[in-house]
Structure 1
Amino acid sequence: MKELNGRIISKGVVEGEAIISKSPISFLGGVNEEGIVTDKENELFGKSIANKIFVFPSGKGSTVGSYVIYGLAKRGLLKGMVNFESEPIVATGAILGKIPLVDKVNIDEIKDGDIVVVDGNTGTVKIKEQ
């Protein structure tokens, strides 16, 4: 098992399948309430982040994005997140929604479909051997 060290943003521990966006994403207008990526510029356009560990470099855009993340959490759709650099919008949404989030991680080490454990209590991301 490979372990990546990062920074604690939102506490909790979750395991799941990673889905990767190589580009920053705005949750307001970029992800709908069912967890489908609606940003036509993003490589995940049309794909669902529901019940996955969403790995992306950073967020972008409106502060309302925090409430979109919170809404996804309340509906049980967003399990966990990993960022290269969490900015306040994503961090606030994760904390409000009690979604484990770790940043300062080399996200290039994580591949689409990897099973990962996001540990927001220790600031680590573990990639399980497949």
Structure 2
Amino acid sequence: MPELSSPEDAAAINALRSAVMRLSRRIRHHRVDESLSPTEMSVLGTLFRCGPCTPSELARKEHVQPPSMTRIVALLESKGLVTLDPHPDDRRQKVVSQTEQAQGLLEEARDRRNAFLAELAETLDPGEWAALRAAAPVLEKLAHL
């Protein structure tokens, strides 16, 4: 693991943090359903990537407390975006699954946000685009640690 203690490393970390936060805010403006919070969309995205899971598993993956996830799941269920089914091995637990409506919403949101990012990427020169493409897997890794 690299030691990140030089002034250059500190400046790079600061620039990365600032750029990621600013870009994230810009991407969030391209929402499909204004009634869903970013957290609710994130939970739906986790269900899409990971498949059905218990509220406790979702809470761990989303880095929120279980009572908060219980409220989020209840809101998503009331909007018809998730279903709760009995756990196959533990009847005390439920399994959260996304609905077809949620899948459509996620696809539309992804398409809209990807189109926005593609517009931005078109302004890059070939070297910048190559560097960004190479960095994408690393950023993905950081996002899911």
TM tier relative to shorter chain: under 0.3
TM-score normalised by the chain length of structure 2: 0.25
Q: Which protein has the bigger strand share?
A: 1
Question: Rg bigger for which structure?
Answer: 2
TM-score normalised by the chain length of structure 1: 0.26
